[in-house]
Chain A
Amino acid sequence: MALPVFDYLAPKSIEEACAALQSKPDTSKLIAGGQSVLRVMKFRIMAPELLVDVKAIPGLRYVEEEPDVLRIGATATQTDVLRSEIVRTEFPLLFEAISRIATTAVRNTATIVGNICVGHTASDPSAALLALDAILVVVGTTGERVVPISEFFVGHMTTSLDATELVREIRIPRRKGNLGMAYLAHAGRAAMETPLVAAGAILSVRDGVCTGATIALAGADETPIRVGRAEEALVGTRIDDRTILQASSIAAEDCSPDTDVYASGEYRRRLVAVYVRDALRTAASRVQ
């Protein structure tokens, strides 16, 4: 369908952007790559009067490493993130998650921040960042706050962001030694499809014993989730096929996937068991 009529503003600073949102809190909408916003507007799911484009704000397009943290700016595209050497070597889970998104054309335009701000349960970056304990730097008219990603997703297509707030940056803590991570996703075709289910896993192992386990899922519940019981079941055990299978069946029990045109909830639950198992196996094989 044709886009509905709207106004467009390209502010030059974060303050200006927040002020614009503040001026029309109910009818304005931030836009980054526009890959989701324009689509939902065309489908008439949303008809904002004002689009506030963050891409013109200088200084937000970066992927930077610091000793303890990797910082991704609000307008860094998915391709920018894939091009970062540290993402490839230190965060293969994130690299794998982003590289399977849609197609090159979509990734060249779409941002990571925009992706997670949609609040979609089947978002690849969301599950990856959830596994990586990312932290979001949020700016509002009253100043900045820091939100752990585990508190960011609050419901179906909803985040804890206020309508006048903006995510300025994603921070991913760097981790040290003896760990392996992996991300695996399942979709109905080999490209151009969000996952039905995806699993990101990080395992830390010392002397053959699991000292830390993280399992994050996309598409397995109303929002991207961590499966705490499955993680706990692994900590303190030896990582082998028995413990991995046990953890994956707990994950399948503890999730609550929806039925939609892409797949039934029951099918997704079966996928959870398979993909958690395989992500854990791959993560375990990568421990170093």
Chain B
Amino acid sequence: MNNPTEEFSVVGKNVIREEGPGKVTGFGKYAIDIEFPRMLWAKVKRSTRPHAKILNVDISRAQALPGVHAVVVDKDCPQTLFGFGCYDEPLLARDKVRYIGEPVAAVAADSEAIAEMACDLIEVDYEDLPAIFDPWEAFGANPKTLIHENQANYRRVPIGPVQYDAKHPNAFGYYRIRTGEVSKGFEEADAIIEKTYSNAMMAHATMERHNCISHWGADDNITVWSSSQAAYPLLNQISEALDVPHSRIRVIIPKYVGGGFGGKIEMKAEGLCAVLSRAAGYRPIKIIYTREESLCWAGVQHPFEMRIKSGVRKDGVITACEMFVLVNGGAYAQHGFLVTRQASYGPLGSYRFPHFKLDNYVVYTNNPPGVAYRGFGNTQIHFALESHIDELAHAIGMDTYEIRRRNVLHENEINAAGEIQHSVAGAELLDEIKSGLERHGPLERVDGPWRRGRGIAFANKDSVAPSASSAIVKIHNDETVEIRHSAGNIGQGSSTTLIQIAAEFFKVTPERVRTAEVDTWVTPYDQLTGSSRLTFAAGNAVLMACEDVKRQVLKMASELMQATPEELELADMNVFVRDNPARLMRVRDLFRTVFFTGSFLPAGGELLGKATFTVPSSKIDPETGHAANDGLRKIFSFCTRAAQAVEVAVNIETGQVKLEKIAIANDLGKAINPMSCEGQMHAAISMGLGQAISEELQISEGSILNGDFSSYRFLTAKDAPSNEYVSTHIVEIPQFDGPYQAKGFSEATTSPTAPAIANAIFDAVGVRLRHMPMTPERVLEALDQLNTEN
């Protein structure tokens, strides 16, 4: 849909962010900043038990507290269940609670403090039930308790194989992939390695805590302002939870959202606050989650257990791989089964596996629910796989770059799930990081407490399919362009990317293009800000809407210019005859002004282009997980790949790990805004490093022990390596169907960091850490063990 060889004037340029000035000056308004007249504050009364029957909820004392306007429990809510493909969750706990932190009641009051006091006055009588926190315990055929007794009857969106299996009554998702015959592959192997890898629970830790205002209007329309990263999925969830049609719900996402990372996709308190709004006499209700609520009970990253057995030949070729993965989903499904599905395909986007077998279950436990988290399961699976690849390399005495080069996929190759691979960067990324790290100087091994080592890792991230984005592009009477789309800009810079795409199309400067605030009564459908999909999907939709409005412009101009639309061209808001550019008119002259009431378009209402971009996917065989051989062979929209090489220093006395140097490479088709892409890469280092060495929600019997920023250790700018030792490498392998051949990439940036660090720790001190995060105490324990063995 565009010519790759043409010279670009805006695409590929470092355009400053649309939201930049508002952020720097502090004028930018986030949902958390919004307040309204007559607004009340909400608080949620949360469960203190991991698994218990609710015998009674006494709200009388809370209701009697001056300043309290409404107190609601389950029976005051629509008796629906909501979810994200598996409908298992009530707005407020119904009959029983399934995790510590589950909403049991909610209060609306004049102030946050009063609402909180009222929550303290609500008395809940519980009868404890046996609770399960360990995924293996949950997984069995006869678990000591069922977390969702009625699971078999839940409504589900069928994706893949049947998800409920009476043999594993606590499992709510199961995916499998079957390719070849692994036993044959193992016979061909010269070495076989079998190891188990795992990760702790993590939080998204967005700067802006989850918050919203919901207003159930007296006209029965519901308006919601939210810090969400997914306006339309939120709209849909509110609709399902409240049993109100879409048309009566309006979701507004301010242009400033303080981070998402997957943690703001599902509905949080938006539906509940709407219920409170009506109960409190149609007043707007605001809630801001506390930092503890935001870290612990707004969805966490899933802990995975990953057993991998692989065979490798002496020449480095992997002959077979067998994986068993168990995901701890927590008390409600939310995104759990989709994360499980996506993680299952993760290995297949990296390497060639002649024989492959995977079984991946996600189970309910009485832990807080897991949700999407940047990488969507790929962070976990690539931590395991990339650690494992190094273990294979060591088993046959091969260089760690070399073993990866031998096995990475090639352009147009069909992978082990029958999917054809496009825009494949393999060796290119490995070459970049190798030379990138070498540029920071050679590894110098020294004695003393700090030991140095290097490691690499590769990773990939598929972007969801089917996928759909719509866009509206309006040309105003001053010839500026407005993009209406619902692809929320949550800090990743997507608005600017879309502006550049439109500016390039119209050959105008980016200053003359802006995006509208996301508002579902104005801006059209978008699937979600997630899955690294916006540049690709929303970008294509914007480009198509630009073409649509251009067609209208040329048609209107053709009548005034005595030429056919086919003879005309549009650039910089001039319409001209292609063969005689001197014959031209300005777009603004299509508008007419009478008297003093502004200008209008004589026909058609507005210069408004509209479009929907969709990506289909192939039928997938539930037994093998393979894409049908239908000419499309497509499971995902596109795949982005990444590689990183790191140098770490490991302190053998304290177990501390410092990231000293890093080369980070991503393939992204075409960098629409290189500066923005590099920004994502730099920020990803901090996030990846936190995952690798320090971020962990410590949980005991379902209770999170460190739900605050002093003890939940996410890292600071001071922990990041010095800029002088960070190199970013953009690899552009054209994505044939992307806008200007671009694709998204941002999720894959974090996945290689932890395994590269694990591999570097091994290089530095000879211990293999198979559990993330690799905290100082875990490193020290492994060193102690090594020392006792020797």
Chain A residues with a Cβ under 8 A of chain B: 1-5, 186, 188-194, 261-264, 267, 270-271, 274
Contact B711–A3 (Cβ < 8 Å): no
The A/B interface has a contact count, at CB < 8 Å, of: 51
Tell me if B482 is interfacial: C-beta within 8 Å of chain A: no
**Which interface residue of A5, A261, A267, A271 has the most chain B CB atoms within 10 A?**
A261
A-side binding surface: helix, strand, loop or mixed?
loop
Q: Which 5 pairs, one residue from A and one from B, show the smallest C-beta to C-beta distance?
A: A190-B718, A2-B112, A191-B716, A2-B113, A191-B718
Contact B716–A1 (Cβ < 8 Å): no
Chain B residues with a Cβ under 8 A of chain A: 111-113, 116-117, 290, 449, 653-654, 694, 698, 705-706, 709-711, 713, 715-719, 776-777, 780
Q: A270 to B781, alpha carbons, bound, how many Å? A: 12
Chain A nearest CB from B223 CB (Å) reads 25
Which residues of A are found within 8 Å of B777, using beta-carbon distances?
Answer: 263-264, 267
Q: A193 to B708, alpha carbons, bound, how many Å? A: 12
Chain B nearest CB from A40 CB (Å) reads 12
Contact A261–B706 (Cβ < 8 Å): yes
Which residues of A are found within 8 Å of B290, using beta-carbon distances?
Answer: 1
Contact B718–A261 (Cβ < 8 Å): no
Would you list 21 pairs from A and B whose C-beta atoms are within 8 A, ordered by A residue?
Answer: A1-B116, A2-B111, A2-B113, A2-B116, A3-B113, A4-B117, A186-B654, A188-B694, A189-B694, A189-B713, A189-B715, A189-B718, A189-B719, A192-B709, A192-B710, A193-B710, A193-B713, A261-B705, A262-B711, A264-B777, A270-B780
Contact A190–B713 (Cβ < 8 Å): no
Contact A261–B694 (Cβ < 8 Å): no
Chain B nearest CB from A257 CB (Å) reads 13
Q: Could you say which of A4, A5, A190, A264 contacts B719, with CB atoms under 8 Å apart? A: A190
Who on chain A is nearest to B709 by CB?
A: A192
Contact B116–A267 (Cβ < 8 Å): no
Which residues of A are found within 8 Å of B113, using beta-carbon distances?
Answer: 2-5
Which residues of A are found within 8 Å of B710, using beta-carbon distances?
Answer: 192-194
Chain A nearest CB from B144 CB (Å) reads 28
Q: A76 to B614, alpha carbons, bound, how many Å? A: 63
Which residues of B are found within 8 Å of A264, using beta-carbon distances?
Answer: 777
Which residues of B are found within 8 Å of A3, using beta-carbon distances?
Answer: 113
Q: A2-B116, A261-B698, A270-B780 are in contact. Are A189 and B653 (CB under 8 A)?
A: no
Who on chain A is nearest to B777 by CB?
A: A267
Given contacts A3-B113, A191-B718, A270-B653, 13 further A-B contacts (CB under 8 A): A1-B290, A2-B113, A4-B117, A188-B713, A190-B715, A191-B719, A194-B710, A261-B698, A263-B777, A270-B654, A270-B780, A271-B654, A274-B654
Q: A190 to B112, alpha carbons, bound, how many Å? A: 34
Contact B653–A274 (Cβ < 8 Å): yes
Contact A192–B716 (Cβ < 8 Å): yes
Q: A173 to B112, alpha carbons, bound, how many Å? A: 48
Which residues of B are found within 8 Å of A192, using beta-carbon distances?
Answer: 709-710, 716
Contact A267–B780 (Cβ < 8 Å): yes
Who on chain A is nearest to B291 by CB?
A: A1
Chain B nearest CB from A107 CB (Å) reads 14
Q: A235 to B653, alpha carbons, bound, how many Å? A: 27
Q: Could you say which of A189, A261, A262, A274 contacts B716, with CB atoms under 8 Å apart? A: A189
Q: Could you say which of A1, A2, A261, A267 contacts B776, with CB atoms under 8 Å apart? A: A267
Q: A262 to B712, alpha carbons, bound, how many Å? A: 9
Q: A203 to B188, alpha carbons, bound, how many Å? A: 67
Which residues of B are found within 8 Å of A189, using beta-carbon distances?
Answer: 694, 713, 715-716, 718-719
Chain A nearest CB from B292 CB (Å) reads 8
Which residues of A are found within 8 Å of B654, using beta-carbon distances?
Answer: 186, 270-271, 274
Who on chain B is nearest to A264 by CB?
A: B777
